Structure 1
Amino acid sequence: MTSVESLALQDGELPAALIAEVEQRWQSLLEHCDSDQAQWYQGFARSARRIELLQALACSHTLFEFCVRHPDWLPNLDAAGLLENSIASARWRAELSVACARCENADDLAQVLRQFRNRHWLRIVWRDLNRLAAMEETVADLSHLAEACVDVALDFLHRQLSAERGEPQSKAGEPQQLVVIAMGKLGAGELNLSSDIDLIFAYPEAGETVGAARSVDNQEFFIRLGQRLIKALDTRTADGFVFRVDMRLRPYGQSGPLVISFDALEEYYQDQGRDWERYALIKARCIAGDRAAGAQLLDQLRPFVYRRYLDFSAIESLREMKSMIQREVLRRQLQDNIKLGAGGIREIEFIAQCFQLIRGGQEVALQALELQTILRELAAQQYLPTDVVAELIEAYRFLRNTEHAIQAWRDEQTQQLPSSDTERCALALAMGFGGDWPAFAAALTEHRGRVSRCFANVIAPVETEVERPHLSHQRWRSMLDDLDQDEVRATLEEAGFDAAEEAARLLVALLNGASVQRMQGRGRDRLYGLLPLLLEDLCGVSAPTATLLRLIPLIEAVLRRTAYLVLLIENPGARGRLVELCDASPWIARQLAAHPVLLDELLDARSLYSMPDQAGLASELRQRLLRVESGDLEAQMEALRYFRLAHVLRGAASEVTDSLPLMKVSDYLTAIAEVVLAAVLDIAWQNLLDKHGSPVPDGDDRRHFVVLGYGKLGGLELSYGSDLDLVFLHDLPTTAVTDGERSVDAGTFFTRLGQRIIHILTATTRLGALYEVDMRLRPSGNSGLLVSSFTAFSDYQQNQAWTWEHQALVRVRAVAGDGVLAEKFADLRRQILCKTRPQAALVEEVIAMRQKMRDHLLLGVNKNTEFDLKQGEGGIVDIEFMVQYAVLAWSHQHPPLTHYTDNIRILESLNNNGLISSADTQALIDAYKAFRSQAHRLSLQEQKGRIAIAALGAERKNVSRLWQQLMLST
């Protein structure tokens, strides 16, 4: 090797902050070169193009690392003229096809794909950082690169799998190919340096393979092919990965099949497609496989995306989406994120896509994929002023160049502005500001400000008149300006406050407290602007002082986040709903004080009191999780917690305002839990796949894992503070192992899956825990395995379980996971419950367990003055035990008793089977509803589940009478 010579950097060639770093990289690079390579680099460093080398080494650590590992790449690219010139779009696939023709197996393919990607990534970054390519060429090259990798890999893997399993054909004998639909940035041909690629897999028609010893149906073939394609692209090897693949935009998300037929895909969007899925499909494009069939599929889906008329019905959902974007920026503190923050890339995309959804059905030109094309069309058709569009396009280019410069530094999927001085200097250098961070930051702020102004005006909120100060507000302002406690008391008393002296003490203590005294002028003005409005609203509630007491913790919680004070000042409806709900329930007040972000939910009465069904809940949560990076567990956990808090608040608001009956509230709270559990399972499963690979054989689309919900969850009777009684099962053989680099057996995989699920559910984050989890109902309780095999669980239930464990089976059902295993469990449950049992022994055991519970759980209750709704004699648990006894005693003669897991429908089934009279059935149902309704109300009032001994006397007598009749006369 030749001697290592210095770069001999001259004044002004690089910012001072980067000189030492670049010199060090240069020395390291030359040390890894052979003599010819070192000679090329040293010659290049002395040439007229020297500044290109300096710029690349200074602004991309990953480019430097690629050069160190492959010092021949840059010389070869330069010799081929590829550093200075563009590449024709057709050349990408042709070049990769030649390289892959030499591959003999999947490992060879993986290495070729990764080296192809990395070599071209180096070339693209070199050209981008040196402005040898415009931003438009950079994103096009990255998209061509990804498209070539997907297409060539798919061809190779299809041939390989066809040799094993035969060629897939339709029932009419027509050959079938997988269709790969790209969404998002790849669909639009606008990929960034470190983008995921969002894909959907589909195939044209049902059928099976031909030409192999054993045929398989087309879906199984294409699922296996899709799995291999993802593995070829996404798995990290010694050469890195090709592209991270995100399949969450497919129908039903991670819980849906990996590949479905065209008919099933079209049916899904027609029957279940949501507005956000219309939004996602705007950029859909077929990039691999049967492109003609893919184009036909997208044509079939076009009516779902683009209505044939001016779709003003989309305005409301777009307005909600816009509001969600703005709240998310505030909640996640994304101000320094140039994609998601205010005035960022996503806001520009949203502006364009708003017009596409509303007018795209009539204006075909607006159905284009590329963002700049759409923006220019908006100017041409005068939907936006020409100067505004020019500003948006200029800002978009600036932001995308900034995004690429951030990602070039370490090939990381981030749009966050750097915080270290070195990275900031490199970013400012890459952006043409000579390393001057303040100058770059000022230009960035200017562009983002222009975007924000346009974004604020698109799909503007419904105009509401900001409440003008009422004459009566003057008394509150005068009172607050003086703040003499006696004067405050007198003013409150005159306004009709009960316990005015206590209210005055609370108010004065708040305003004289250290937190308020430390407030800056603007925040203090906002607080004093809100309080008169709030005090006036309090005059209209039943207990103003008690409600003020409940509101003060919330006010204290937002003193340092005064945007919430502005929210309440400018939104009389939200403020009124806040006062109404806090008057009705201290529990709601405490939730809002603990999580002020929930104030957002009060802005729209329609959504606050609107309870979506379970499919709607699942779609909303899926949409929320899609906005989070798939590998960011902390962000996923926060999204789950916010979703659950917001929807539980909706349920409580509906209950205290009597807009939803008890049974519907319980159904809603149960649906929230089930949707959350399904999402948690998806996240945990993906996390384990990334670490260990899958324990499931290729071509098997099942997960072989199910979550069982016992007790209130199983019985669809969740309340606000309910924990989740869960049991986990799997049905893979113990010999199964995962297919990842860190392979583990199936038992270990599923145990870790269970542990991860519990962690996601119970970990305390900024928004608290999702749910408390109780796993004691699993076989052998806390000493048993966290996850049981189905065989072991079945054996335990058949041969070892206690009677009380069979009682628990009455209220258990599969709530998340594999549908096939859920059916196996349902069959087992029916078998166990339908066993013939000695009646005398059964009733004795049930009564003994009931007494044991009562003795243990009623300690400290004064039975002469209080009635415990749950454990008291003639209460909820007596009804539950009667129902459980009846199912265990009579299901062998009346199997329909096992169909349901909730007490009311089981009681109705007992009546339908002639086992309990209609009058007695109705008496138990009425009592059960009355007890649970009272328990819900007490929960919302943050009181124990106890009532006066004289209350609900008739209901208790009926339950006690029927207990005597059913249990003690048997």
Structure 2
Amino acid sequence: MTGPGRRSSTFTRLLRHGFSEPAAAERLLGLPEMAPVQSDPVLLDALGATADPDLALRGLVRLVEAQELEERRVLLDTLLTAKPLRDRLLGVLGASEALGDHLARHPRDWHALVMYESADLHPGVADFERGLAEAVDPVSLRVAYRRCLLSIAARDVCGTTDVAETAAELADLATATLRAALGIARTAAPEDAAACRLAVVAMGKCGGNELNYVSDVDVIFVGEHGGAPCSSGAESPGEDEADEGRGLRAATRLAAHMMRICSETTVEGTIWPVDANLRPEGRNGPLVRTLSSHVAYYQRWAKTWEFQALLKARPVAGDMALGEEYLEALSPMVWQAAERENFVPDVQKMRRRVVETIPAAHLDRELKLGPGGLRDVEFAVQLLQLVHGRADATLRSGTTLHALRALAAGGYVGRADAAQLDEAYRFLRAMEHRIQLYRLRRTHLVPEEESNLRRIGRSLGLRADPVAELNKEWKRHATVVRRLHEKLFYRPLLDAVAQLAPGETRLSPRAAGQRLEALGYADPVAALRHLEALSSGVTRKAAIQRTLLPVLLGWFADSADPDAGLLNFRKVSDALGKTPWYLRLLRDEGAAAENLARVLSAGRLAPDLLLRAPEAVALLGDPEGLKPRSRDHLEQEVMAAVGRAETVEAAVTAARGVRRRELFRTSAGDLIGSYGTEESPAEADRGALVDQVGNAVTDLTAATIAGALRAVVREQWGDELPTRFAVIGMGRFGGHELGYGSDADVVFVHEPREGVDEQEAAKAANTVVTEIRRLLQVPSADPPLLIDADLRPEGKSGPMVRTLASYEAYYRRWSLVWESQALLRAEPMAGDPDLGRRFLELVDPLRYPVEGLGDDAVREIRRLKARMESERLPRGADPALHTKLGRGGLSDVEWTVQLLQMRHGWVEPGLRTTRTREALHAAHAAGLLSTEYAQILDEAWVLATRVRNGVMLVRGRPGDTFPSETRELAAVGRYLGYEAGHVGDMLDDYRRTTRRARAVVEELFYGA
């Protein structure tokens, strides 16, 4: 009866200690050999603390069984009394089946884990060389190697070393092993050893001091004949060549033998493959080359990836002096590689190709090569090193985490980003170590079996639910890596920095001055002062500016006014100097830096808006940031801002603040979208940009007026005005075609609420109109918003606001044909929507008259147009270049389209629109004008509108003609897509386009 009871108690204890197979563990603990420890609670606690208690117990039993009787007693006594040994031995046995097998074959090797002097905690190459000193053949080398590996694994699983220190120790052990293997090869062929100099250069993770437990050890061999350089002592060229040939053949035999010693499988297994495929020409090239042959190859034939691989090159064995010569000769080429044509895109393509080669079945489990894996971190860091390391020697480390810290310290990577990458890389490398340590097999795939995942999770300290926690942490870190890889690896700034000439990445005052003159800065002395102010000092801010400025200078120089661009950049930087996100945004986020450069050097309007609200620079880093927001969104924000204000003045100031930011958003999007490339934008794209600007500025104006209306009503009447009130957009406002400097043409309509006296209602309506106009036109640094009500009945002589009934009476009795034409653009923009709708119902019969226009009305419209052309064109203006009233300009196209609308709108619903381009397309669809004519008129209208917008963007004030000042004219040309020096082409194209449009207008409008 006692047996089952005791068994049940042990069984329960084993379950509690984390055993998955408690029955089997109970049997093992009951073996006679385990009698001294089978009931010891300390041992069970220690086993329960391992990654896999079942595996640890099985390994321990095998080790105990392999001991001689006296040795077994010593082992068990030490195991019970010495906690350090217990933790190290059981920790290794619970994490590595392969090392358990080794201890079972070499039972005395457990002594390697007994004593740790302080010097042994972080052994170096020399310590490992002593550990391998007695190895005289491949078999004994493997045994000694595994013994050294035991101590590394013990420090690793017990937390004595972190993952980076473990990787460095593994690289040091690999170095010592390569030296031992080369020593064995030399001993076996002393004549070859005497005939050559052979240097072994480690590459990859071994070269970077970050090796895995099981990995190919990448090397390159450099050989020379004899004990001196190959030309030394030769009596003739022929003898010199013969010596070199003999030396290379001897070096090749030694190198091949050394590789076999490490790579071949023996009764003790294998160490790791030595891979020389990173050598010039790969497998097709000679295994060993002379130093001069290496140099010639890299100068003439090497591909981009080969220079990237050399980042980690490190002499480790053989003739170290020759290895250092190799490094000294090739290092300059590594740090010039970024200057190669298409360098950054080539590296990016190479990374994508690696991902594409992963079998689909493995993609989600690939810890090294898959998206969010270790290689994403390494490639991002290496690309940043190669681009910025040309001018900053602190970045020239072959170790990923060291290089990452240097990139963060130099300001090339954000500290938060670097910290996240560091944490993720360490976690993923720790996972990789634990996966490989189990059976000492080269793999980067996360296992699928729950037992394996459980062991890995427990080994990483995840104990509550190891499998779930491991998967969660792994996915979290992989997501971080992928996000930051995309952010850093595909950063547009990288390619721009890479394209700078040597010496331009860190500008001395003299170099800066010369470059400024070469780039076309008109005042290089002032520009140099700006550079010094921005980049002097040792602060992180100055370091980031020193990275940004050489690229920004080129982008500014690509504009019509580089000096203004640099000055504006200094002003923005001064305004945001203490804002931590500003420089990070320019360095890290998409095309933010280039976008800012384009905006700051394109004229006055956008920079002035930005300097009034510098925080709006954040919009330039968001891919969606430059898309105009909807009117509903704008109105919600404006109304919320108005609602928070304490006075009507403060409310309208808040609304104007929203308008300022949104005008910057629209103008920046326009400038960036319009920026000339090698090929000018397609006509459809130009038209889309014009429509985007017109809609955005119109919506913004409507939202601002609605906000001002709400503020005035709330200030004087509370929640409700005594009369219904609506603002009707007219002209370009009603047509959704406002430019940056356009006035807002409106008419005001009201209707007394039930029970309200008409005089009281009229007084309230007039007060609202007066206050809205006053508040919106208070002088400020913002672009003005002028409310123009001159299109109302009776013009300037008529009342500012009328009732709906008054409008009806006026239009019934007095309306002229020009007023009907003006009403083609009428659209409600603010106020009571029902009243606005009824206003449109009132005016629709006037603007779309049944049966169209009579001959007299057509003649009147033509007469008015001719009179306007002769009287309103400014004195001295060139009719061929005036965008509004000139030949083939806006007025010509709009009056032609409006005549078609009034004549045919009653039968063609598509013509019943306030928008010029929509009406033009509808007229074409209805067969009222040919495709050719429609395209000619559309092209002219779009071009004239873009010129007006460009003038406002460049000068900061509206204008209907091209600027006369040279730089301003060139800036308008850049906005329109013309390269520097092609201003004449721009003017010729404008004249030709509008001349063709005028010919169509003569035919369609005047009936010529």
TM over 0.5: no
TM-score, normalised by the number of residues in structure 2: 0.42
Larger Rg, first or second structure (1 or 2)? 2
